[in-house]
Structure 1
Amino acid sequence: MNGPEIDVEFAPELRLFVPRARPTGTARAATDGVSTLGHLVESLGVPLTEVGDLLVDGRRVPPGHVPAGGESVRVRAVERPQQVPGAPLRFLLDVHLGTLARRLRLLGVDTAYESTDLGDPALAALSAAEKRVMLSRDRGLLRRRELWAGGYVYDTRPEEQLREVLDRFRPRLRPWTRCTACNGLLEEASKEDVADQLKGGTQRSYDVFARCRACGRAYWKGAHHEQLEAIVERALTEFAPER
């Protein structure tokens, strides 16, 4: 049987997850003397991947705290840039974030991605096994306990999604070092090395090539290079101030 109700105030960044919250960002929830504060926050719609400090009557408490009637609860958003334990920082993206995956790889960020839907249990297990930060817009996936770490992607536009991830996690950027198709590392290659992948015009017009060590795909500064270079330059200008 449910016990007394308490008010839970959410930071502005988290209110999109709590449609039942008042305009002030406060939602009421019943306590039962057993469920943890982390469970209560998730039951209201907020994945713990998005939660920073939990404050009860002004003091910081862990997600395992069991709330009681009369307590005042505030839920802060995760701090940015977010510190993720372990190194190097690596990501795993679900099937709906293919463009974001390719852009992260373009910037040299280790990004695993499958074009087929592996399902939530398999993705969560892979995140744990390879210690990758799971990025998704699926709140249910981000609530899975097996995840090593995770982050909700708030925007639907690839340009803004990339800015979100770079701003939140600040991964090291090493542009032009990874295959955008398979995430493998690139190496220099001669024209002869990749001749079987070149059409006549490309073979005549270009002399500098790279090749993926994993899948063998060839790369050169083709028709879309200016567009890709603009993506790289924007990212480096905003998120690599040490340049």
Structure 2
Amino acid sequence: MNGPEIHIEFAPGLRVFVPHGRRAGATPVTTDGVSTLGHVVESLGVPLTEVGELVVNGGAVAVSHVPAADETVEVRAVERPQPVPGAPLRFLLDVHLGTLARRLRLLGVDAAYESLDIGDPALAARSAAERRVMLSRDRGLLRRRELWAGAFIYSTRPEEQLRDVLGRFAPRLAPWSRCTACNGMLRPATKEEVAGQLASGARRSYDVFAQCGECGRAYWRGAHHAQLEGIVGRALAEFDRA
């Protein structure tokens, strides 16, 4: 770029995206004089999905604003909880976020998940077609213009990933209502209806079952139920706003 110089400062939470040397304080950036502020921000490594208000010389501007010489730009992070207008809150997760998808489903959150790497164009197209918020650690995917909405997942740890999504979007929680395997809705089932999926020990030990209306998978309070209850209990204690 060889044009007007501006001074740009990123919110602390966004500095993880910015190359070393631009992480603290306002830094001079040379623009080309025609690119939008949104393009400039993305060129510095920050996905627009993570950007809240853009403030130029003290006043809010749109991403389409074309910076002029000597402007001071403040790039703020998205507000939390982040509103997602115009559709029921639903998510789409890429191939690397399977554990997060299962934990969201455990809490009753609508979380579609691609278990195969179908490619960024197909993921972005599904996000748009189904009006789902794309969750990913792939900044290139989150920069695709056809996305309906998106969010970067900052941590590699499932516990922190879950807290981040729940804190950012405040979805309604309805634990034990979705299939963790396929995202379908669960319904009560009798032992006879799910008998074909039960080992002899489960048939003897359990009497309360649920079954997915989509894939037919059976659920009961098995050996891992205490661990799952812990995940649910912690989420409800911190994020249940009902």
Q: TM-score, normalised by structure 2?
A: 0.97
Q: What is residue 136 of structure 1 aligned with on the other side?
A: 136
Report the Cα distance in structure 2 between the residues aligned to 1:21 and 1:216, rounded to whole angstroms.
Answer: 54
Inter-partner Cα distance in structure 1 for 2:18 and 2:27: 8
Shift of 1:22: 3.5
Per-residue displacement from partner, 1:55-78 (whole Å, max 9, x unpaired)?
Answer: 110000000000011111110000
Q: Which amino acid aligns with 2:48?
A: L
Counterpart residue number, 1:102: 102
State the SS of the aligned residue for 2:182.
Answer: coil
2:88 corresponds to which residue?
A: 88
Question: Could you tell me how far 1:32 is from its partner in structure 2?
Answer: 1.8
How many Å separate the matches in 2 of 1:23 and 1:17? Answer: 9
Q: Which amino acid aligns with 1:175?
A: P
Contact 1:20 1:27 in 2 (8 A): no
Gaps of 5+ in 1: none
Q: Distance in 1 between matches of 2:61 and 2:75?
A: 11
> How much does 1:23 deviate?
4.7
Counterpart position of 1:31: 31
**What TM-score, normalized to structure 1?**
0.97
> In the alignment, which residue of structure 1 is the partner of 2:116?
116
Q: In structure 2, what residue type is equivalent to 1:97? A: L
Instruction: Name the CA distance, whole Å, in 1 between partners of 2:100 and 2:220.
Output: 21
Partner of 1:63: 63
Percent of pairs identical after alignment?
74
CA distance in 2, matches of 1:23, 1:139: 18
Shift of 1:86: 1.9
Residue 22 (structure 2) pairs with residue 22 (structure 1)? yes
Written as runs of structure 1 = structure 2, the 5 A alignment for 1:42-81 is 42-81=42-81
Q: Which amino acid aligns with 2:229?
A: E
Question: Quick one: distance in 2 between partners of 1:27 and 1:111?
Answer: 39
Tell me by how many angstroms 1:42 deviates.
0.1
User: Which residue pairs with 1:205 in the alignment?
Assistant: 205
C-alpha distance in structure 2 between counterparts of 1:87 and 1:210, whole Å: 29
Please give the alpha-carbon distance, in whole angstroms, between the structure 1 residues aligned to 2:218 and 2:86: 32
1:236 corresponds in structure 2 to: 236
Q: How many residues align?
A: 242
SS state of the match for residue 55, structure 2? strand
Distance in 1 between residues matched to 2:167 and 2:151, nearest whole Å: 12
2:99 match: secondary structure: helix
TM-aligned CA deviation for residue 202 of structure 1: 0.4
Once the two structures are superposed, what CA deviation does each residue of 1:17-64 show, in whole Å capped at 9, x if it has no partner? Answer: 002343524343222221000000000000000000001100000000
Cα distance in 2 between the residues matched to 1:20 and 1:3? 22
SS in 2 for 1:193: coil
Considering only aligned residues, what root-mean-square deviation do their CA atoms show, in Å?
A: 1.1
- Cα shift at 1:119: 0.5
The residue correspondences of 1:107-186 to structure 2 (distance < 5 A) are 107-186=107-186
CA distance in 2, matches of 1:21, 1:190: 62
